[in-house]
Chain A
Amino acid sequence: MSAARRGLLLVAWIAVVAALGWLVDRTLVVGTDLRLFLPSPRTPQERLVLEEIGEGPASRMLLLTIGGSDPEAAAETSRGLVTELRSSPEFRWAANGESNLDAIPERLLAYRYLLSPTLDGTRFDEAFLRAEFAERLRDLASPAAAFLEPWLPRDPTLELLKLAESWQPGQQPQTQFDVWFDTSGRQALLVAETRAPGFDPQGQRAAIDALQAAFLRVRTEPGLALEASGPGAFSVLMKDRTQQEAQRLGGLATLGMIMLLLVAYRSLRVLVLGLLPLVTAGLAGLAAVSAAFGTVHGITLAFGFTLIGVAQDYPMHLFSHQHRGLDPRDNARALWPTLATGVASTCVAYLAFLFSGVRGLAQLSVFTVTGLAVAGLTTRYLLPWLVPSHGTDVAASGRLARLWGRIAGLPRPTWLGALVALLCVGVLALSPRPLWQDELGGLTPVPRALIERDSTLRRELGAPDVRYLLVIQHRDAQGVLERAAAIDPQLQALVSDGTLVGFDHAARYLPTVEQQLRRRAALPAPPALEAALAAALGATPFRSGAFAPFLADVERARQLPPLEPGDLAGTPLEARVGGLLLERDGHWTGLVTLTGLRDAAALERIAAASEGVALLDLKQASEDLVAHQRERILWCLAGAAVLLVLVVGVALRDTGRVRRVLAPMALTTLLVLASLHVGGVSMNLFHLIALVLAAGLGLDYALFFERAADDPAEQRRTLHAVLVCSLSTLMVFALLALSSLPVLRAIGVTVSVGVVSNFVLALLLTRPPRGGVS
């Protein structure tokens, strides 16, 4: 091929890559919802668990503190911030302890008589009203007079105040300057619920940004600082950290890789050519995911590029085997059966994730399979046209020859392999510690100090427990409210005896229709109420006509249809009730959130005694889900392993060869599992993905060593190629292993150990036992 045509091909290739890049850039939507990596729910119960974890009120709740300066300034800022957040589209509601009667809309005011429990035990008769008016007289002579007086004509029994107080959380922090403060009295406390679910770091990021901007607008003193805690704040923090660290390590790794390639091939051109298949693979993978799923998850992106890093090895094999006198196209053709076997079997392994039932993993699978296939095919069919045919023959290197000689001389006790395998299986089977980590939180662990601060704030604010919930199921909303109202006294008893600090459910805000009707029926008709009022006021200094608005409101309440969940839209109660009473597919679910629970068994008893009520342990339930997810992935992987053996078997057609190629990979997988376990690491999903990656690498190494079995020059070229491949991979993953972030560390350690073990074992185990020719 002439230089001009080569140049044309190169330009065309780069143009295709650029076009792919443009396409991907235009169509790719990067999602950040972490639930994409959680198992898909199979039952309504599991769906509830996942929704509660990712979307429930507890997951959206941000606990805020304002402090660092004068408490009064903090209180002033807290008031300003709540006002800002209430009008912010990022937040559903915000509270700081201020009770604001004016916040109740006019059209709901008359409902106070149907919502307040006053009428359950009493009637608006002369005796009741007389006692109430006597109290109001005392109120008027008290310093609170100016506050209460404007409400008295329409609400002399103070139902609104009773309602506002009953809607406050069971246990409240202390108030100072009318807003919540922590026990030290220095930091104002607030709660805000974001509109974005807790598992959506992007939405949470927007909420946190809006929060900070609002804070800066209303801050009354420059010394004040705002802190946010809660699942959403943590997911933002962890995402930022992971991204920063991944970028830093990624940059270092790229630099190291370039140096290594320059040292190994001493050619800038080879360096650039070596990157082309990888870049093409990445972009093709992205385009495929984008076409298949619409969006691609940020983790898929980060992981995917780590996984298809293997594709960097493909051109290496071509380069290392290239020498003067060999047409690069012949070179590629000769390497192809081995390379294709490696690519195909790795793709088969990743294909397993497509059937894992986890959307994020399915994306990852499409991405890697497409990427690896494209990298393999471009290395075979495009790259050889561009590779210079005169490259130095690495087989001529004296150092490499001596190294090979020494390796060949090493004893290869196959019984040791069997022993190691047995030992590993023994360690794994006999250890009392669980092999796997089932905690969802284990995937994105938050620093201990932040967790502790969060639980302190949670306690002070009386915010609901994130672990236990009572779940009430019924086919209609009224049934749910009825059951919630029915267990209310038992929960109240638990609060009284200290088992529970507080609880919350929808019926606290919205009584059942039946109860509202009962209360409505208890309201006296105008003549009776007027008579009772006149008699009660008779001997008091109150003006007789002063309470006409009260009569009017009672009469209005007597005509009201009971308040139902749908009527709450646009009121402050909408968000509160909406988080506790959910409708799905014509079925209603009520949640009872719990605060400061000491004894879950007591709730278990309540749940057992009430029909349609269950205690949900989100931690246990999510762990079950994770365990189930893992089981399914393991089955998929087992299936993939069988397929992989078949692929290798078809390619090599010799059981001895198949055994020698597969032995290093299998032994390495066992070795990595055992050493991680002995090292005290509990495995999670990320370890599993990393194990598959390591196995894929091992298979490649073994295939190439096995191929070069009897030709000394080929052996040295293969040694060179595999050395470059494994060193570059080891460098990248050893850097990740140094990361402070558990996710990156998990992958880094697993692959690093895997690469070393695979390299050594492939060298020792893949050649026929009668020994290499030296």
Chain B
Amino acid sequence: MLVTMPSLATELDTGALLDSLVRPAPDKTLFVEVRHSALLSEPIFVTGELEHRTDGALVRRVESPYRETTELHDENVRVEREGSKPRRFSLDRAPELRGMLASFGALLTGDREALERNFAVTVQGDTEHWRLELSPRDDRLKRRLASIVVDGQQDRPRCLTLSEPDGDASVMALGVGDRAELPESLERASLQAWCSGESGP
């Protein structure tokens, strides 16, 4: 397979790349998520763990600096934050969540058809450093979500970036359990560089 020849950069094939990303449930990954917003003078971040459960649910568990659990199951979202009552809402109130769920679920299960139904899929780079870009097809979703970008190396996704049309974005570094592993500056440019492996480990 591609992975058996890590040193040799090979031309990318979308199908093969998607196949290599399949993670059968149950699966857990640590993450650090950085949020950029026009309302903020500097980016904020949280660390935690993502879980893909066997029932298909995606759980985002924030461990620090506070505890919060967001559970995405089918179309329903349940948010439980320490110190307040659990809240439920549905994906339509947050289309970017539906986009995320759709893209995440499809990535994790290798469902290329579902992925391409919701997004225009493009890949760049080579097997060593690749970038998978998902642009929403639905107009409603487009108003809230500009793109989902997955940066990765070999068969390992490194960053998941959700960009909003107004320039705000959230960057989720996957497989990272500690802020210290990220660059000193959390500004977009330096994060971007880190995600695409230019300042990688």
B40:A542 contact, CB within 8 angstroms: yes
CB contact list, A122-145 vs B, under 8 A: 135, 137-138, 140-145
B74 to chain A, nearest CB (A): 7
Q: Which residues of A sit under 8 angstroms from B68, Cβ to Cβ?
A: 138, 142
A143:B96 contact, CB within 8 angstroms: yes
Other-chain contact of A542, B39, B43, B84, B162 (Cβ < 8 Å): B39
Q: Which residues of A sit under 8 angstroms from B118, Cβ to Cβ?
A: none
Confirm or deny: B60 has a beta carbon within 8 angstroms of a beta carbon on chain A. yes
Other-chain contact of A141, B45, B74, B95 (Cβ < 8 Å): B45
- Complex alpha-carbon distance, A98 and B90, angstroms: 10
Q: Pick the most buried of A141, A147, A543: most chain B CB atoms within 10 A of its CB.
A: A141
Q: Closest 8 CB pairs between A and B? A: A178-B92, A178-B90, A147-B94, A146-B96, A546-B39, A541-B40, A543-B41, A141-B46
Binary per-residue interface labels of chain B (42-77) against chain A in the complex, 1 for a CB within 8 Å, 0 otherwise: 111110000000000000101000101010101111
Given contacts A140-B40, A144-B94, 10 further A-B contacts (CB under 8 A): A144-B77, A144-B89, A146-B164, A147-B94, A177-B92, A178-B91, A178-B93, A541-B40, A541-B44, A543-B39
A141:B90 contact, CB within 8 angstroms: no
A207 to chain B, nearest CB (A): 27
Interface residues on B, range: 35 or more
Confirm or deny: B144 has a beta carbon within 8 angstroms of a beta carbon on chain A. yes
B94:A149 contact, CB within 8 angstroms: no
Confirm or deny: A175 has a beta carbon within 8 angstroms of a beta carbon on chain B. yes
Other-chain contact of B37, A98, A138, A145, A178 (Cβ < 8 Å): A145
B35:A141 contact, CB within 8 angstroms: yes
Interface size on A, residues (CB 8 A): 24
Confirm or deny: B33 has a beta carbon within 8 angstroms of a beta carbon on chain A. yes
Q: Which residues of A sit under 8 angstroms from B168, Cβ to Cβ?
A: 145-146, 149
Other-chain contact of B41, A141, A178, A541 (Cβ < 8 Å): A541
Q: Which residues of A contact B (CB under 8 A)?
A: 98-99, 135, 137-138, 140-147, 149, 152-153, 175-178, 541-543, 546
B1 to chain A, nearest CB (A): 34
Q: Which residues of A sit under 8 angstroms from B46, Cβ to Cβ?
A: 141
B102 to chain A, nearest CB (A): 12
- For residue A136, which residue of chain B has the nearest CB? B39
Q: Which residues of B sit under 8 angstroms from A137, Cβ to Cβ?
A: 44
Confirm or deny: B147 has a beta carbon within 8 angstroms of a beta carbon on chain A. no
Q: Which residues of A sit under 8 angstroms from B60, Cβ to Cβ?
A: 143
Q: Which residues of B sit under 8 angstroms from A149, Cβ to Cβ?
A: 37, 39, 164, 168
Pick 23 A–B contacts, CB within 8 A, sort by A: A98-B92, A138-B66, A140-B40, A141-B35, A141-B62, A143-B72, A143-B77, A144-B77, A144-B89, A144-B94, A144-B97, A145-B37, A145-B168, A146-B95, A147-B144, A149-B39, A152-B39, A176-B74, A176-B90, A177-B92, A178-B90, A178-B93, A541-B41
Binary per-residue interface labels of chain B (138-170) against chain A in the complex, 1 for a CB within 8 Å, 0 otherwise: 000000110000000000000000101000101
Q: Which residues of A sit under 8 angstroms from B41, Cβ to Cβ?
A: 541-543
Q: Which residues of B sit under 8 angstroms from A546, Cβ to Cβ?
A: 38-39
- Complex alpha-carbon distance, A175 and B46, angstroms: 29
Confirm or deny: B28 has a beta carbon within 8 angstroms of a beta carbon on chain A. no
Other-chain contact of B70, A140, A142, A147, A543 (Cβ < 8 Å): A142
- For residue A152, which residue of chain B has the nearest CB? B39
- Complex alpha-carbon distance, A153 and B166, angstroms: 14
Confirm or deny: B81 has a beta carbon within 8 angstroms of a beta carbon on chain A. yes
Q: Which residues of A sit under 8 angstroms from B96, Cβ to Cβ?
A: 143, 146-147
